[in-house]
Amino acid sequence: MQRGCILLSTVCLTLLGSAAQLGALPKTNLQTQIADRSATPGHHHSPGASHRSGSLSDDHEHGSLEVPTDQPIPTVNLIVHPDSRRGWNLEVQVTNFRFAPERVNQASSSTNEGHAHLYVNGVKQTRLYGNWYYLESLPPGKHQITVSLNANGHEALMHNGQPIQATVEIAVPVAVD
């Protein structure tokens, strides 16, 4: 019986077996710096106006922060582990970056510390202050899970003009009784 499917680009790993077996299956991941293609080029706000929907393309209300060429470039790797009961355990691996929840909302003085933003299908779900997050449930269908790295002041961290983020697509099957 098919229980789940995790898609990476065009590669699909079909997870077979009972829910108890899912925890023993191999993890899957996708490396960093996948650019957000949904933002409208040249899109700007008038003074005082901003998006409030919480979508990935709306994150520019906080601005962006380019990593200087003389500093190590942060990376993020997102690994989706199917939970043995239900949902998914998201593992966020970072290099050249430190989660700094004690400094959130402060002026950004470094491009190598801050927090992450978690998006499902382009809609912001929450901030991440560490390497693990439990995603309880998603409706049947394909879903893109994205984690972006952000500075303490919420600016999206950028390298060569592209956001530093990782995206994994998962397919949630229709429940079979």
Distance (Å, rounded) from C-alpha 36 to C-alpha 146? 10
Distance (Å, rounded) from C-alpha 150 to C-alpha 144? 19
Q: Which residues contact 37 (CB under 8 A, 6 or more apart)?
A: none
Q: What integer pLDDT is reported at residue 56 of this predicted model?
A: 52
Q: What is the pLDDT of residues 98-141, one digit of tens each?
A: 999 998 988 888 899 999 999 999 999 999 999 999 999 899 99
**Angle ∠(111,154,51) on CA atoms, nearest 5:** 140
Question: Whole-model pTM?
Answer: 0.68
The token pair that represents 76 in the structure block: 């993020």
Q: What backbone phi and psi angles, to 5 degrees, belong to 104?
A: -60, 145
Positions of the chain with pLDDT under 70: 1-61, 177
Q: What integer pLDDT is reported at residue 120 of this predicted model?
A: 97
Q: What integer pLDDT is reported at residue 27 of this predicted model?
A: 38
The token pair that represents 46 in the structure block: 């008038």
